[in-house]
Structure 1
């Protein structure tokens, strides 16, 4: 093996510091430089190792602390979740209890409201009774007066017959007076009968809640008759434009209650001392009937429209207004007649209520 082969063999064996003689300065400098670089690299590696170990220890400490904190947080979270579940259970129980109380209170309130509404209906019916009684005074008074006058005349005629002083002219005059008195009696009795019939229809319809087929114009006319006294005292004129022949299969008592409340609302809130005018019209719209009620009273400001049908809302609190009249109208229109009622009004321009209901109540 020659010298060059020995040299490479030494390098392959790891003898990087292997030198041959004679020593070559260039080779020596090269090896010294390599060893210096290796030493520097080893020192840098050692430095990095120390730094890395320090960083690992630091990160390990941080991770240990984090793991400990995480464990504590897990415990806190578990405790929080347990408390939350307990709170949710209690809240659910409270909600169920509250729902039960609300349902009970709502039922009690509905019963109380129904009683108030029924009382209002009876009060309205009582007003109708008073009006009819006042209306009956005139025909009954005429009947009593004519019957008394007729009795007196017949007594005088009987006396002349007994005394023999009866003359033909006296007989004819007495007969004429009796015929006239009889005609007045018949007309007064018929008027009283009409009033009683109207009241009976209204009273039976409003108290029995019975359903029947009826003519709309006749039913509205009946309620106008029963409210005649109140309308005359308030100087209210009613223009009934409903055409005959509009038949409905519904609850006339509730419809009469609606018109009674609308009319009394106009009298109490719409008209002043000078009275006013009411127009009632209707038309058939296929399976529905549209009824229009108008007055030329004070009107209602647009911002108050949404309050009109609310219970206990009244501008006459303490002056005889209960605040339930229009609430009853709304409930009857929607709940019983299965229809809808809309208000159109402005201050100083009267009111228009449009009631749309099925011709045959479902």
Structure 2
């Protein structure tokens, strides 16, 4: 029942695959009959223990350096090196410093002796004669702790392997995006050449028309030329700008080591959406170009400037128009004109964008809904209230909303960082305050109180 070695674990045993994970326990006593009795008692508990016996403190030290144990049950009174001295040496070694030690003794029932053992690193005592119920209870605790730790280690190893695979996929994606970018640059060059050629042709045509039609037809021709050039050029420039900005943020995410599965999935979705945008944007080219340009300039730089709050909120809603339509979300902006801030519009746009994303993913649950954004000037402060009519948040969960990596949709588009970023931007960059109020079935209300002039 008691061996001097630990059998190698089969594949998957650490993660709990193929049955309960065996728990190695080291028994230390200079008397074999005591070891046999203790091993027999532990074997009757059916706790999945793998018992290893040592008949001296020196042997216990050697075994602890070669194997990992969940618990040491050690006699105190042993010749040559007693249990106290053995515990001292175990605590001095970094490899065994955290190894739980339970002293088994018949002669240290007094508190002063027990305190001395605790000072040397003992976690508990078992007084002979040993009560089986007490022994089972204490050993069970350490078995559960050991299995839990090994299970967590397995999860870490599994996640590390997943991240490595994602990194390889990301490398391939980066190479593909670079090739796409090069292709786009070539298309832009060809477009410029065609525009130059067509401009020359139109210029010669215009000269002939001016001679024959006089100045009366010049305005219509110029308008037609401008319209003809603006449509393809506007579409191509919109896609090029969107892909360049998104690719830059994506590459920065990779460089910062913040890549997650949801970020990668969102990047792929964004690139596909950008490709489809060229076919759908003919009627809205000018509006989308202006809105995207304003949002892109603010969010890719940490510049401070004076801006109109309503215009900034409208810009971000225009940029998110496709996502809002796909999610069947209606937006209402009730911010009066003329409310201006001297602050960081990029941070405010990021806050609004994250709140909208949170509503789409968690609040509406694919069923659509309505988002209302109110605003008002309160002296030297600007108060913005963001509301949705989604499913709401349970009161006992509201204090966790701003915690990093807290999400109810892990692996379904939620990284757990959206509201954490909202909190940090509001308190850090914008130097304001944020409050959240919600009831189940009644949506969410988020109130931002921001200084109209951000502190220097």
Kindly state the Cα deviation for residue 204 of structure 1 after the two structures are TM-superposed. Answer: 1.9
Structure 1 unaligned residues grouped into runs of 5+: 1-86, 88-146, 148-153, 155-175
Determine helix, strand or coil for the equivalent of 1:322: coil
SS at 2:358 equivalent? helix
Match of residue 343, structure 1, among 433, 436, 439? 436
Alignment equivalent of 1:203, drawn from 296, 307, 329: 296
1:223-262 equivalent positions in 2, closer than 5 A = 223-262=316-355
Tell me the equivalent position of 1:160: none
Write the distance in 1 (CA, Å) between the matches of 2:418 and 2:394.
18
Distance 1:224 1:315 in 2: 25
Aligned residue runs from structure 1 range 76-87, under 5 A: none
Structure 1 range deviating more: 196-205 or 317-326: 196-205
CA RMSD of aligned residues (A): 4.6
In 1, distance between residues paired with 2:405 and 2:361? Answer: 15
Structure 2 distance, partners of 1:193, 1:183, is 11
- Separation in 2, partners of 1:183, 1:348: 49
Alignment-derived partner of residue 353 in structure 1: 446
Tell me by how many angstroms 1:184 deviates: 8.6
Alignment of 1:1-362 (within 5 A): 191-362=284-455
How many Å separate the matches in 2 of 1:230 and 1:243? 25
With the length of structure 2 as denominator, give the TM-score of the two structures.
0.40
Cα distance, 1:266 vs structure 2: 0.3
Hey, which of these two has a bigger chunk of helix by percent?
1
C-alpha deviation, 1:192, in angstroms: 2.0
In structure 2, what is the Cα distance between the partners aligned to 1:360 and 1:323?
A: 31
Displacement of 1:319 in angstroms is 1.4
Report SS of the residue matched to 2:415. coil
Distance 2:414 2:446 in 1: 20
Asked which structure has the greater CA Rg, the reply is 1
Instruction: Tell me, in whole angstroms, the C-alpha distance in 1 between the residues paired with 2:289 and 2:224.
Output: 24
Label 1:298 to 1:180 Cα distance change in 2 as closer, same or farther (>3 A).
Answer: farther
Partner of 2:136 in structure 1? none
Distance in 2 between residues matched to 1:291 and 1:185, nearest whole Å: 41
Report the Cα offset of residue 194 of structure 1.
2.8
Mapped contact 2:375–2:382 kept (Cα < 8 A): yes
Q: What residue number does 2:248 align with?
A: none
Deviation at 1:205, TM superposition (A): 1.2
**CA distance, structure 2, for counterparts of residue 206 and residue 336 of structure 1:** 13
Q: CA shift at 1:254, angstroms?
A: 0.2
Deviation at residue 182 of structure 1 after TM alignment: 7.8
* C-alpha distance in 1 between matches for 2:336 and 2:328: 25
Query: CA 1:324 to 1:246, structure 2 compared with 1: closer, same or farther past 3 Å?
Result: same
- Once residues 327 and 179 of structure 1 are traced to their aligned partners in structure 2, the CA distance between those partners, rounded to angstroms, is 49
Q: Which moved more, 1:258-267 or 1:204-213?
A: 204-213
User: What is the deviation of 1:259?
Assistant: 0.2
Matched residue of 1:232: which SS? helix
* SS class of match (2:291): helix
Higher-RCO chain (CA-CA 8 Å, sequence separation at least 6):
1
Shift of 1:181: 10
Alignment partner of 2:332: what SS?
strand
Write the deviation string for residues 262-294 of structure 1: whole angstroms up to 9, x where unpaired.
000000000133300000010000000000000
Q: Structure 2: 5+ residue runs without aligned partners?
A: 1-118, 120-194, 196-201, 203-219, 239-283
What is the DSSP-based 3-state SS (H/G/I as helix, E as strand, rest coil) of the residue aligned with 1:219?
Answer: helix
Cα 1:354–1:184 change in 2 (3 A) is farther
Please give the alpha-carbon distance, in whole angstroms, between the structure 2 residues aligned to 1:196 and 1:180. Answer: 20
Alpha-carbon distance in structure 2 between the residues aligned to 1:344 and 1:355: 12
Which residue is equivalent to 2:45? none
Shift, 1:195, TM fit: 1.6
Q: Alpha-carbon deviation of 1:196?
A: 2.2
Question: Structure 2: how far apart are the matches of 1:210 and 1:183?
Answer: 34
CA gap 1:185/1:358 in 2 versus in 1, 3 angstroms: same
Question: Which residue matches 1:60?
Answer: none
Deviations 1:150-174 (A, max 9, x none): xxxx9xxxxxxxxxxxxxxxxxxxx
**1:331 Cα deviation (Å)?**
0.4
